[in-house]
Amino acid sequence: MINDEDDHMTTLLVAKQYMKNFINKYEIYLKPLMKLVLALTALMMINGKIGYMHKLDNTSIVLILALMCSFMPTNFIIFVAAAFTVLHFYALSLECAAITLILFLVMFLLYFRFSPKDTVVVVLLPICFVLKIPYVIPLAMGLVGTPASVVSVGCGVAVSYLINYVADSATALSGMEAEDITTRLRFVIDGLLNNKEMVLTIAAFAITIMVVYLVRRLSIDHAWTIAMIAGAIVDVMVLLVGDLMFDTKVSMVGIFVGTIFSLLIVKILEFFVFHLDYSRVEKVQFEDDEYYYYVKAVPKITVATPARTVKRINTPRKRSGSGQSRR
């Protein structure tokens, strides 16, 4: 007997295996490609949303920078995106650029010294906010990160809201008189600090990360799945309760739909990406007294091979016989 569910599972496992082989084989090319795509997306979104400096809003510049990012370390993308944002804001108003610069400076100086690994979240989060699925990030970071990821995610949320706020109030900012530096400065800072929605989102995401992290480390079956569902529920609850308490007027439908989509995405990511071990093909050279060695070490594939089920079309006439003991 064979049932549909098993069949689907087998197909998925085969797909996963294929994916794993593919990643192992082409890792050298895939990594720069991913960086290129990320950098391109980030820079184009920045240009689309806050392209106030027309010199930068130029496809060739974006392409050149994205290509540069593809073979630099990942953190270079953050650096380029931050520089882009500040320059665009500078074209809009000096005060805005100064505040953004200070925000980035404090972020780089204080936090990124410690955990240079999950800093890429700061670029990913604004992108996810534009795609309306920011809830992916805290769930994913809870699964693969540590509680310290709370800070990166918080920084990412703050940056997203800052960009949004400035983009929304660009006309008001450029309409103010040029001499009135303090007013403009106050306008930006007030807008950022009094944004209850931002504070609420940071709090919700922080709690989500902690919940996902704690649940996933429990020694229970399906800990990862339970962790992401629990995280998603907590996230929605905190956002809704916060909405009632602070009257932030967030879109309920947006939260629900976004969370469900995020859950799906994280589930797919979990299946295909997170469980892959990144033990890669290694090429090393060394020598001893007798030989030079050029060794290519290929990691053994440890995923269980899909269980095969044999479908019997004809029921065998003979019940006995040694050849019948197939599974």
Q: What is the contact surface with other proteins in residues (CB under 8 A)?
A: 99, 102, 105-106, 109-110, 113-114, 181-182, 185-186, 189, 282, 284-286, 288, 291, 293, 295, 297
Residue among 199, 198, 227, 222 at smallest CA distance from 139: 227
Residue 107: CB minimum distance to other proteins, A: 9
**Nearer of residues 299 and 316 to other proteins, judged by Cβ:** 299
Residue for token pair 């410690």? 114
The CA distance from 127 to 201, in Å, is 16
Measured from the CB of residue 98, what is the shortest distance to other proteins in angstroms? Answer: 8
CB of 172 to other proteins, least distance (A): 18
Rounded to whole angstroms, the Cα distance separating 188 from 193 reads: 9
Nearer to other proteins by C-beta: 296 or 308?
Answer: 296
Q: Side-chain half-sphere of 136: how many Cα atoms within 13 Å? A: 21
8 A C-beta contact, residue 138 and residue 153: yes
Of 113 and 319, nearer to other proteins (C-beta) is 113
**What is the nearest approach in angstroms of other proteins to the Cβ of residue 240?**
33
Kindly give, in sequence order, each residue whose CB lies less than 8 Å from that of residue 183, ignoring residues fewer than 6 positions away. 176
Residues pairing with 285 in the sheet: 294
Residues with Cβ within 8 Å of 74's Cβ and at least 6 positions away in sequence, in order, are 35, 119, 120
Minimum distance from residue 297 beta carbon to other proteins (Å): 5
Taking the complex as a whole, the smallest distance from the CB of residue 110 to other proteins amounts, in Å, to: 5
Which is nearer to other proteins, 62 or 151 (by Cβ)? Answer: 151
Nearer to other proteins, 187 or 224 (CB): 187
State which residue, 172 or 245, has the beta carbon closest to other proteins: 172
Give the containing element (helix H, strand E) for 286. Answer: strand 282-287
